[in-house]
């Protein structure tokens, strides 16, 4: 059976770290590269971190029904999951792993249904989340404030996911992720 694993979380919850760990620990997994219209950040590479395309190209793909799900986060700032990316991974005999925002996670779960295991990574508290975002040293105070406010809203959607992993201890969260994913893949 073709399966997918969906990771969602508020920014600063440790989602990307847990996704990377899962990819290293479980060879059956393959990362789904999302499409976006935003510019690459830092050392991000096209077709490795994201498929970076123009808003016009993105809208063309929408009209072609090329996406499993997509969202216009801000004007002309789109993110989406290409159907062709999922098919490519399934054709390799692998399980797709998604690293998406909370709304994207809910959309993917609705689309894939029983083929999907949706996991919500939750910080131990909003205060800890804020501390993590500050210690990252990648955002200004205003951006951190916005992300913390958004996290409060995103936490209210946790119950819509199949599993919630509270990331208070990274090593424990990694172990819990491995157990959840292996159990889902094997059944």
Binding residues: 9-16
| DSSP characters over 165-178 | EE-SSHHHHHHHHH
For the chain, give the longest Cα–Cα distance. Answer: 46
Annotated binding site for ATP: 9-16
| CA 83 – CA 66 distance, rounded (Å) | 6
Handedness of CA 93, 97, 98, 99 (dihedral sign): negative
CA angle 71, 34, 97 (to 5 degrees): 110
The full 3-state SS of 21-55, as one line of letters, equals HHHHHCCCEEECCCEECCCCCCCCCECCCEEECCH
d(CA 98, CA 91): 17
């Amino acid at each position: 059976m073709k399966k997918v694993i969906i990771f969602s979380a508020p920014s600063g919850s440790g989602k990307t770290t847990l996704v990377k760990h899962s990819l290293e620990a479980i060879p059956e997994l393959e990362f789904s590269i999302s499409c976006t219209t935003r510019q690459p950040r830092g050392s991000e590479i096209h077709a490795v971190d994201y498929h970076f395309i123009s808003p016009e190209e993105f809208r063309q793909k929408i009209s072609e029904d090329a996406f499993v799900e997509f969202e216009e986060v801000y004007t002309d700032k789109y993110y989406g999951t290409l159907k062709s990316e999922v098919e490519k991974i399934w054709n390799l005999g692998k399980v797709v792993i998604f690293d998406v925002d909370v709304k994207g996670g809910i959309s993917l779960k609705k689309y894939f249904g029983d083929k999907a295991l949706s996991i919500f990574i939750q910080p131990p508290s909003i205060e800890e989340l804020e501390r993590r975002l500050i210690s990252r040293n990648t955002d200004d105070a205003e951006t951190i404030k916005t992300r913390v406010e958004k996290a409060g809203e995103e936490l209210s959607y946790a119950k819509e996911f199949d599993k919630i992993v509270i990331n208070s201890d990274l090593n424990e969260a990694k172990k819990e992720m491995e157990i959840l994913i292996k159990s889902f893949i094997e059944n």
